A and B are shown apart, each in its own frame.
Chain A
Amino acid sequence: MNILSVQNLHKSFGGIKAVNHCSFSVEKGTITGLIGPNGAGKTTMFDLITGLMTPDEGHIILGDTNITSFPAYKRARLGMARTFQSIRIFPELKVIDNIVVAMKNHPEKMYQSFIPLRKKRKELKDKAMKLLHQMGIAGKAHLRAGDLSYGQQKLLEIARAAATDADFFLLDEPAAGINPTLLKEIKEYILKLNSEGKTFLIVEHNMPFMMEISQKIIVLDYGKEIAVGTPEEIQNSPHVIEAYLGKKKE
């Protein structure tokens, strides 16, 4: 069953077709990689799927809902969470608050300011601490999030996405600028969530990482899907080699 299907999606900026009548689908419970050379339209694709941009044409179906016209927050509430290529955490908030605000049953209605919620807030805090423990940054829970190192901020962003209780994660370059040890942790975390039935769509330039983790890879070039298959198939696809390295002279 498909959790996401992108149908004939198109987005152009002036004369540049960032996403060019692209279609693909992501199966539920899989880890799917989205790769392509720089400027292939991967991040634009993410922005379209999560609702930060509106497409010129085409449809986006999440589960069995057509979400093409939904604003970003509504899509997120349907169980979609993402991380960003350039980290977007809440730097002035404490690390733990970064997680707590993302939780699904966060008592954030205004009238709830006036009723005692100590127990509920404690519950959310404990849950957030547990999540931070899993990510190995529990010791920093009460620091300003902006004071964390780059790698830890990246972990925090993933943890925040996980805190929303989403079923479908879109990770934009989770491995960029991360040292190998941390990368291993991220990988294990992704695999753990995946084993719990969560679906991933990952954009990444680190090929060994992608080949190891993905069950299926979609290759974008000039905003169009040029190949879809298992990592082995992709590695041997002449189209892909051509997109990355250029054509061999005859």
Chain B
Amino acid sequence: MTDVLFNPDYLIFVLTSATIFVILTMALNMIVGFIGYLNLGHVGFWSIGAYCYSVLLMNGTPFWLALIAGGLLAGFSGFLLGLPTLRLKSHYIAIASLGFTYIVYSLAINLTGITRGPLGIPGIPRPSFWGIDFEDKYLFFLLCAAIAVVSGFIMKRVLASPFGKILETIREDEIASQSIGKNTFSFKLKAFTVSAFFAGIAGGLWASLYQFISPYSFFIPELVFLLAALMIGGAGSFWGGVVGTYVLYIIYESVRFMPVPPTSVGALQQMAFALLLIIIMIFRPRGIMGKKAATFHRS
């Protein structure tokens, strides 16, 4: 068992996967944590980014161009989704954005000319540029980590700025925010576009890591995992998404090392994950990094 645990191939793969996932949770946190809207369309942006990247890369587009194009297409789809839906009240946004996830899913299945439908796209290469071949798992991890750090830096900068403060006023009280002269719709639309852009970037890296994508790679189970990571970490706190993702990955992967038959690992993972979510909701309802609810008044 220990040789599995210390198997560098396995560890670095999980670590890379978690690191890419962090980009995704950070981006979702902008919407769920800061604007306070339950956005269930995030996996749709992720999927669009992944497909755009894969198709471009496999047709000879350079890595950076394909990655950015995936992000831009996802960002644009976020903008398009935001235009009609961001005028809705929060719970209606949840439904409308879930619809978006389903639309992207059925497009991925049915646009067989581009996506190969349910067969998925196999053999997506790892990038190679500036004379460096990122086929090497350590180098690829470093690349993903660097992109995650840069993305995180940009998002943190935006959320900590006055712009981010206005996003928080929308979460706190949108009517009050309008009454002090903020065009809340425009703020929400910008945040939605940026969030979708980074989800698209994560999609591209994800495709290169797994080297295979299909419509089933980006659907409801992934959405639940994503939301759970954010809830566990603490939506509304920048580090919440980061911490939540790593914690959830560790719990998820450590189940593999329990003395159980391999066939029940999947089920146990689901159970561990649900259990963790319940424990967090009871003891730290705002997540690990969430601000602790005020229990007393200081004068």
Contact = CB atoms under 8 A, between A and B. Distances in A.
A110 B179 CA distance: 20
The bracket for how many chain B residues form the interface is 20 to 34
Contacts of A13: none
A72 B177 CA distance: 10
Interface in B231-264: 236
Given A101-B169, A164-B181, A88 B162 contact: no
A238 interface: no
A91 B236 CA distance: 14
Interface stretch (B57-65, B127-135, B142-150, B290-298): B290-298
A39 interface: no
Interface in B2-54: none
B173 A90 contact: yes
Given A106-B162, A109-B163, A76 B168 contact: no
B136 interface: no
Given A73-B182, A93-B169, A108 B162 contact: yes
A93 B182 CA distance: 16
Contacts of A110: 158, 161, 163, 190, 194
A28 interface: no
Given A90-B172, A112-B163, A146 B178 contact: no
B152 to A, nearest CB: 14
Contacts of A81: 179-180
Contacts of A89: 172-173, 176
A77 B169 contact: no
Contacts of A161: 180
B26 to A, nearest CB: 15
B71 interface: no
Interface in A94-128: 97, 100-102, 104, 106-110, 112-114, 117, 121
A56 B173 CA distance: 26
B91 interface: no
Contacts of A106: 162, 166
A121 B182 CA distance: 18
The bracket for how many chain A residues form the interface is 35 or more
A92 B181 contact: no
B181 A73 contact: yes
A59 to B, nearest CB: 21
B187, B291, B297 pick with most chain A CB within 10 angstroms? B297
Contacts of B194: 110
Contact of A101 (B162, B190, B236, B297): B162
Nearest to B193: A110
A84 B176 contact: yes
A76 B192 CA distance: 24
B180 A92 contact: no
A109 B161 CA distance: 9
A147 interface: yes
Given A88-B175, A110-B158, 15 more contacts: A73-B179, A74-B183, A76-B180, A76-B181, A81-B179, A88-B176, A90-B176, A100-B162, A106-B166, A108-B163, A108-B165, A108-B166, A112-B162, A113-B160, A117-B161
26 contacts: A52-B175, A52-B178, A72-B175, A73-B182, A73-B184, A74-B183, A82-B179, A88-B173, A88-B175, A90-B172, A92-B291, A93-B168, A100-B162, A101-B165, A101-B177, A107-B162, A109-B163, A110-B158, A110-B161, A113-B157, A113-B158, A113-B161, A113-B162, A143-B298, A147-B294, A164-B180
Interface of A: 50-52, 71-74, 76-77, 81-82, 84, 88-93, 97, 100-102, 104, 106-110, 112-114, 117, 121, 143-144, 146-147, 160-161, 163-164
